[in-house]
Structure 1
Amino acid sequence: MAWQDDILGSDYQAATLPLGSDGEGEVVATLVRHRPPLTELVSPAAPAHGTDVLYLHGWSDYFFQTGLAEHWHGLGARFYALDLRKYGRSLREHQTPGFVADLATYDADIEAALAAMGHGENAERPSRRRLVLMGHSTGGLTLSLWVSRHPGRAHALVLNSPWLEFQAGGVGRAFITPLVQLGARVQPLGTLPQVDLGFYSRSVSSEFDGEWSYEPRWRPPRGFPPPRAWLNAVLEGHAAVAAGLGIEVPILTLLSARSTILPRWSEQMRHSDSVLVVNDIARAAVRLGTTVTVARIEGALHDVVLSAEAPREAAYAALTRWLRAYAP
């Protein structure tokens, strides 16, 4: 595995992880690591000293949140992020963006990343460093399911607005699931109607009203068209969460204090989650495991670390307090 300079600058490196092939051809994932000067000069008293962090992005997304990496570094951790197959740095021209028919498919991506980090399941010399997994939105759902299926691998789980429940709630999910299952069987790559009106991108992107710059090919303003089989996989994940995952490691869930989901633009979307129903996510989060902390951040966006400065700093402060309390 060869590390090369990453698009984010001199403090970041990326490595391509071969994953074989699927029905669309060659598949890879991409591991990004944050390596600023004097990386190893960390105080033993730092709350994340001796910790490796692996971050997983959400739907129609990739890793570009450099402030998150820098915050983890300031806490003493080594920070890594994974662009899953068919996303971001890993997306190839012959692929349907983001497509999988089962979220467990990502086990191979995650295992390849962990092996590169020294946390591989079959490592001859297992790492003595702690492993914290962090996921945003669909990445939070994917990692929650992974931790449940792989007990003993991670020491803690941090979730940033995880997509743990369908926007119409459990009743709506039960109604729509048979229809989505049928469509997934008949036309797995067929796409569903585009319901993203671009309001979240308007809140985030510097091309509109936000403050963040990123690659629009990898994070389009209205998201990728969602394939039927992919949504079916997500709904299966939601059902598993609703039944309880039994995760035994400490879990932190960061959420906005409120949602604003409307068919028209509202200024409230600059200060709330315009993607998920956060109250439903908060209720679903407590079904994940035995020790779950839910931190509601006033003024936060769907990705809390892309919020305005005040809620962003409040989220980082909540993360730091939680680390000192639950992941010593």
Structure 2
Amino acid sequence: MTREQGWQPDVLGEPFDQLTLTLAPDAEGEVVATLVRYAPSPGFADLLTDAHVRRPVAADTDVLYVHGWSDYFFQKELAVFWHDQGARFYALDLRKYGRSLRPGQTPGFVDDLATYDEDLDAALTAIGHAVGQKSKRRLVLMGHSTGGLTLSLWAHRHPSRADALVLNSPWLEFQARSAGRAALAPIIGLQARVDPRAALPNVDLGFYTRSVSAAMDGEWDYDLAWRPVRGFPVHPAWLNAVLAGHAQVAGGLTIQAPVLTMVSARSTMLPYWTPDMLSSDIVLVVDDIAQRSIKLAPTVTVARIDGALHDIFLSKEPVREDAYARVTQWLRGYLSGS
């Protein structure tokens, strides 16, 4: 297809394109976000107009996906799934992540999750959902882990902008639970004021990468510079922003759109490797995430996916098929009639 002005070939190859979104500079200089789209040439199914042909469940829908911490968008299969449901699929590499990371920048660093409002507004404007613009297309937001937390807080602050949220293992509560968060928050808050970019101890042992990367025990190829084996260094100001987000979720949000939260059926939180880590969440405590989810909105569906990894859509193929089927079923109930 012919590319509009500004769109360039993406690192994922055809039919993925990318668009650089220029944001306000900060203390580290130039700041950008990067919008990725899946733009295959129209196929036979895309050209059907017969009223007797059943419309795809996500027809007339735009999907915007936001990645998690120490991550970027590379999940081609996820884009194909949404396209097959009739949607236009977009993904956003937030500032200082993946395609948007510039030399000299602190990877993933912000000191307030609301900073991403600028990234999201730029992306939504580019796909036809600008503030004050009445789009004929519905908007579904999909977020993984920290991206799920970020989108939940955004949807709470911006009522009626999104028609639905799909959350893939959203980081809605600290791993040490609310008591641990309450004890840690004052200490991290003090560090954030004194030395916001200090390097905190790295507790990532690389087990999650082992479960995902095709170079180890997983099946996915991706750029280890953009998604390092042991993650990005964690800094006090960033962690303070995340803990503040957790506290806000614990107090209750009022997202007006229906929410689907997907989590693994179990967690495996151990300081040593075990084969169970290939079929469970080894990053978050899934029971806590499921409980926090019901604080997001009046209408929340929680789906527990047996055998799922932290990123459910990077799990083994039978698990992914189950997860995609759950999303499709949920869409038929909450999106097809909207």
**What range describes the TM-score normalised by the shorter chain of this pair?**
over 0.9
**Shift in Å at residue 122 of structure 1?**
3.8
Mapping 1:2-81, distance limit 5 Å: 2-38=6-42, 40-41=46-47, 45-81=55-91
For normalisation by structure 1, the TM-score amounts to 0.98
1:128 matched to 2:136? The reply is yes
Q: Give the whole-Å Cα distance in 2 for the aligned partners of 1:248 and 1:13.
A: 32
Q: Which residue of 2 aligns with 1:82?
A: 92
- Deviation digits for residues 7-29 of structure 1, max 9, x if unmatched? 11111000000002001101000
Q: Which amino acid aligns with 2:19?
A: A
Q: Give the whole-Å Cα distance in 1 for the aligned partners of 2:132 and 2:108.
A: 28
Q: Which residue of 2 aligns with 1:280?
A: 288
Q: Which residue of 1 aligns with 2:262?
A: 254
Q: Give the whole-Å Cα distance in 2 for the aligned partners of 1:66 and 1:297.
A: 21
Q: Give the whole-Å Cα distance in 1 for the aligned partners of 2:237 and 2:54.
A: 47
Partner of 2:136, secondary structure, is: coil
1:190 matched to 2:214? The reply is no
- Deviation digits for residues 73-99 of structure 1, max 9, x if unmatched? 000000000000000000001200000
**Shift in Å at residue 111 of structure 1?**
0.2
- Deviation digits for residues 159-212 of structure 1, max 9, x if unmatched? 000000000000000010000000000000112100000000000001111000
For normalisation by structure 2, the TM-score amounts to 0.95
Q: Give the whole-Å Cα distance in 2 for the aligned partners of 1:32 and 1:44.
A: 29
Hey, which bits of structure 1, 4+ residues long, moved more than 4 A? none
**Shift in Å at residue 44 of structure 1?**
5.6
Q: Which amino acid aligns with 1:246?
A: T
Q: Which amino acid aligns with 1:108?
A: E
Partner of 2:47, secondary structure, is: coil
The gaps in structure 1 that reach 5 residues or longer are none
Q: Which amino acid aligns with 1:41?
A: L
**Shift in Å at residue 127 of structure 1?**
1.6
Q: Give the whole-Å Cα distance in 2 for the aligned partners of 1:10 and 1:30.
A: 17
Given the superposition, is the C-alpha separation of residues 3 and 180 from structure 1 closer, same or farther in structure 2, using an over 3 Å criterion?
Answer: same
Q: Which residue of 2 aligns with 1:107?
A: 117
Q: Which residue of 2 aligns with 1:222?
A: 230
Q: Give the whole-Å Cα distance in 2 for the aligned partners of 1:258 and 1:285.
A: 16
Partner of 1:192, secondary structure, is: coil
**Shift in Å at residue 41 of structure 1?**
3.3
Q: Which amino acid aligns with 2:41?
A: P
Mapping 1:287-298, distance limit 5 Å: 287-298=295-306
RMSD: 1.0
1:314 matched to 2:318? The reply is no
Partner of 2:90, secondary structure, is: strand
**Shift in Å at residue 225 of structure 1?**
0.5
Q: Which residue of 2 aligns with 1:155?
A: 163
Q: Give the whole-Å Cα distance in 2 for the aligned partners of 1:250 and 1:135.
A: 14
The gaps in structure 2 that reach 5 residues or longer are none
Q: Give the whole-Å Cα distance in 2 for the aligned partners of 1:20 and 1:231.
A: 22
Q: Which residue of 2 aligns with 1:93?
A: 103
Aligned residues: 326
Q: Which amino acid aligns with 2:273?
A: W
Which moves more between the two structures, 35-44 or 144-153? 35-44
Q: Give the whole-Å Cα distance in 1 for the aligned partners of 2:9 and 2:319.
A: 31
Q: Give the whole-Å Cα distance in 1 for the aligned partners of 2:158 and 2:256.
A: 11
Partner of 1:9, secondary structure, is: coil
Partner of 2:14, secondary structure, is: strand
Q: Give the whole-Å Cα distance in 2 for the aligned partners of 1:186 and 1:119.
A: 39
Q: Give the whole-Å Cα distance in 1 for the aligned partners of 2:256 and 2:94.
A: 25
Partner of 1:143, secondary structure, is: helix
Partner of 1:159, secondary structure, is: strand
